[in-house]
Amino acid sequence: MNIRDLEYVLMVAELGHFGRAAEACHVSQPALSGQIQKLEQHLGVTLFERTKRKVRITPVGEDILRHARDILALVTVIEETASARKDPLSGPLRLGMIPTIAPYLTPLLLPSLRHGLPKIELSLTEGMTHVLEKQLLEGDIDAAVLATRVTEPQLAEIALYTEPFWIALPHGHAMEDQDSVAIFDIQSEDLLLLADGHCLRDQVLSFCERTLGTNPAFNTQNTSLATILALVGAGMGVTLVPAMSLQGSWVTDAGIAVRRETTGQASRSVTLAYRKSFPRRQMLEKLADIVCAILPDTVTPERR
């Protein structure tokens, strides 16, 4: 049994297909299938139930797969530890961001990384918070920019910035002539929200429960923040937007007015989450410094 065998098993389990797994591992299907069969013979168990239409992992295969993931994660730590000893500010960095941060932070971050961390090999992943946390735990990414606190004991975080929310109104709305708007002045039936799964939705709900009660009649849309803003521009309602998004082109689009939220209760803390076992903490500290240095004055950095 070797590390490559475990990688083959993991890929077949993820893709549910020997041919696609072989392609992803850059080997021929007979070679991959043969190695997995040898591993099954060595272990004396069947890892996959094979049919003409589907490949399904067996119960014992599931148990072995959990250990295989742990082993492969440790292999990555060993490789990264060696790399960090050579140069902690160089090498690959797999960074995740949530959808309500990535479109606004990435255009600011990438040019600065070329100067501040010129030797890193950055790859970006965008996903929901729970997906990114799972990828962190399984070693699929190295760090993630999140807007919620991590709860898993294997994870830690570096504070980046505090971001207030602003109010986006359609032109002609009764509150458009105000310089600022309090969140409790918004009618619940007018408030457009993202669907379940977005931390932004949960955060807005937490603000509104303190001001509008526990059962407001929110208008929920199963779509992106960009589409929510298009609905605002069309006069369908109002929404709360993170301050970083005020740099987007939508701010100058016809149909939308933005106003500061006056109570100060509507804000979120953005952090850089990572595995405690990640050996290149110095790289993450440098990344955090770069992020805090490029922020617009609508947000408050945690580092100076």
Residues 281 and 157 in one domain: yes
Residues 156 and 36 in one domain: no
How many domains does the structure of the chain reveal? 3
What integer pLDDT is reported at residue 262 of this predicted model? 87
Say what angle helices 3-15 and 59-86 make with each other, to 10 degrees. 120
52 class by beta-carbon count within 10 Å (0-12 exposed, 13-18 middle, 19+ buried): exposed
Residues 56 and 110 in one domain: no
Residues 153 and 28 in one domain: no
Domain end position, chosen among 39, 57, 82: 82
Residues 151 and 168 in one domain: no
Q: How far apart are CA 282 and CA 287, in angstroms?
A: 9
Number of H helices, E strands in the chain: 9, 13
Q: How far apart are CA 164 and CA 77, in angstroms?
A: 36
Residues 180 and 206 in one domain: yes
Residues 273 and 217 in one domain: no
Task: Give me the CATH number covering residue 56.
Answer: 1.10.10.10
Q: How far apart are CA 18 and CA 5, in angstroms?
A: 13
Residues 219 and 244 in one domain: yes
256 within 8 A of 75, measured Cβ to Cβ: no
Domain end position, chosen among 61, 82, 103: 82
Task: Give me the CATH number covering residue 248.
Answer: 3.40.190.10
Q: How far apart are CA 22 and CA 29, in angstroms?
A: 5
Q: Which domain holds residue 9?
A: 3-82
- Strand ranges for 98-154 from DSSP E: 120-126, 143-146
164 within 8 A of 267, measured Cβ to Cβ: yes
Q: Along the chain (304 residues), what's the average pLDDT of each consecutive run of 10 residues?
A: 90 90 91 92 91 85 90 84 76 92 94 93 93 93 94 95 91 87 76 67 64 52 76 85 82 81 86 93 95 94 89
Residues 155 and 288 in one domain: yes
* Cβ-based neighbour number of residue 82 at 10 Å: 10
Distance set, CA 153 to CA 80, 96, 191, 248, 274 (Å):
21, 19, 36, 36, 11
Residues 283 and 152 in one domain: yes
What integer pLDDT is reported at residue 155 of this predicted model? 96
pTM over 0.75: no
Q: Per residue in 250-280, pLDDT tens?
A: 777 668 889 998 888 788 899 999 999 898 8
DSSP, collapsed to helix, strand or coil, labels residue 140 as: coil
* Cβ-based neighbour number of residue 254 at 10 Å: 6
Residues 196 and 261 in one domain: yes
What integer pLDDT is reported at residue 214 of this predicted model? 47
Domain end position, chosen among 82, 104, 135: 82
Residues 167 and 132 in one domain: no
What integer pLDDT is reported at residue 113 of this predicted model? 94
Q: Look up residue 143 and give its DSSP letter.
A: E
What integer pLDDT is reported at residue 79 of this predicted model? 81
